[in-house]
Structure 1
Amino acid sequence: MEKRLKAMAQGLNRLMKYKKVSQNMIDFMRSTEVTANKKDSSYNQHMR
């Protein structure tokens, strides 16, 4: 799970470095949500 969260954060950081993205951003807030499925002991990560 930790590797996936790190990869997601790196991808978002790469996206923010694009000129068109950075010029059109006024402000930005990132949040990370991890949900757990108790039935099959799996996790699902979301980055918003």
Structure 2
Amino acid sequence: MMIPCSEKCLYEKDGLCDLKTVIPQSSTPTPDCPYFTERESKNKS
């Protein structure tokens, strides 16, 4: 199943959700995705 993902989510890859298994819902879900987990910035100072 292909699920579009335009959020800055840990599971986003090439504009699609790359989550392969069901996991517990995140503590910060978005209205469209209960599994949203914000991706950490690669440019940490």
Range into which the TM-score falls when normalised by the shorter chain: under 0.3
TM-score of the two chains, using structure 1 as the length reference: 0.25
Bigger Rg, structure 1 or 2 = 1
Q: Which has the higher strand share?
A: 1
TM-score of the two chains, using structure 2 as the length reference: 0.26
Q: Which has the higher helix share?
A: 1
